[in-house]
Amino acid sequence: MKLAFSTLGVPGLPVPEVLALATAHGYHGVELRAHPEEPVHPGLTPDERAGTAALFKEAGVAVLSLAGYARVAADGEDAPVLAEIRDLLQLAHDLGAPFVRVFPGADPDRSREESDAIAARRLGTAAEDASALGVRILLETHDSHRTGADVIRVLGPVGHRQVGAVWDVMHTWLGGEQPSDSYAALAPHLGYVQVKDIASAEDSSPLPLGAGVLPLAECVDVLSRHDWDGWLCWEYEKRWHEEAAPLPELLRAGRDHLLRLLGEAA
């Protein structure tokens, strides 16, 4: 498996410094948080996009994914959601990223069936743009659709190869789903896996990998036993927790921890 980290852990850090961290600490790729407050977002000009892509190529580091914030099950008109996804897809294409991440974001007052149908309709429509640009849209296990079982209710009806899933191991755990069940649900659609660690269900402040309660060993073991050969991406949510230790000083130990888990699972 290949290892990446998310720029959510180093908010606002310029791309050259992100790449320096990746190369210094042995990471193969980076998940870019695609938000206007970050250096990489859909508002970049063509020249800025080309320059960013060139920096990654020169460093030998992959742009794993653009982590967007489109909410495909949210209330409202389809057009703004589809336009947001289209902008992400175009940016991913320009940077050479294979994936864009979207959220479910269903309204809690809507029925599950209605929310699933909204998300499936939008993803099915967006899949045509994704196919044309050679990028996959990945629905993350998150918020209203926390588990693999939740996400598969949407992806099953979509049935398009350009629409898949991100497995965020924290959210499936919080949803009470076992890693083996998460994998079984998501495996046919799995783009990559987001790993992290937290102190408890009540305290989601980010911790160094292996220092918390999340079943990282079990998740890696499930992936290894099924010969899954994709990406593990460390999403350290420093952006939302200013008190958390800086990610750069944790990156080497985090990589070593994941390599140990992979070695133990082999």
Q: What is the CATH number of the domain that holds 94?
A: 3.20.20.150
* CA angle (5 as vertex; 164, 222 as ends), nearest 5: 55
Q: What is the pLDDT of residue 141?
A: 98
Name the residue among 207, 216, 215 with its Cα closest to residue 261. Answer: 216
Q: Which contiguous run of DSSP H or E holds residue 84?
A: helix 78-95
The pLDDT of residue 264: 83
Residue 200: in which H helix or E strand, if any? none
Q: Which amino acid is at 209?
A: L
Total structural domains within the chain: 1
Strands (E), 104-181: 136-140, 163-168
Residue-level pLDDT at 266: 62
**Paired tokens of 108:** 């809690």
List strand residue ranges (DSSP E) for the chain, in order.
2-6, 29-33, 62-71, 99-103, 136-140, 163-168, 190-195, 231-234
* Beta bridge partner(s), residue 99: 65, 136
pLDDT at 244: 96
pLDDT string in tens for the chain (266-residue length):
999 999 999 999 999 999 999 999 999 999 999 999 999 999 999 999 999 999 999 999 999 999 999 999 999 999 999 999 999 999 999 999 999 999 999 999 999 999 999 999 999 999 999 999 999 999 999 999 999 999 999 999 999 999 999 999 999 999 999 999 999 999 999 999 999 999 999 999 999 999 999 999 999 999 999 999 999 999 999 999 999 999 999 999 999 999 999 998 76
Q: Would you say 215 and 179 are in contact if contact means Cβ atoms under 8 Å apart?
A: yes
Q: Is 58 exposed, middle or buried (0-12, 13-18, 19+ CB in 10 A)?
A: exposed
Contact 169, 195 (CB under 8 A): yes
pLDDT of residue 265: 72
What residue type is 179 in one-letter code? P
> What predicted TM-score, i.e. pTM, was given to this entire model?
0.97
Using CA of residue 231, residue 179, residue 201, residue 258, what is the dihedral sign? negative
Three-state SS for 238? helix
Question: Which domain covers residue 231, as residue numbers?
Answer: 2-265
Show Cβ contacts of residue 206 under 8 Å, excluding neighbours closer than 6 positions: 9, 196, 197, 198, 236, 237, 238, 241, 244
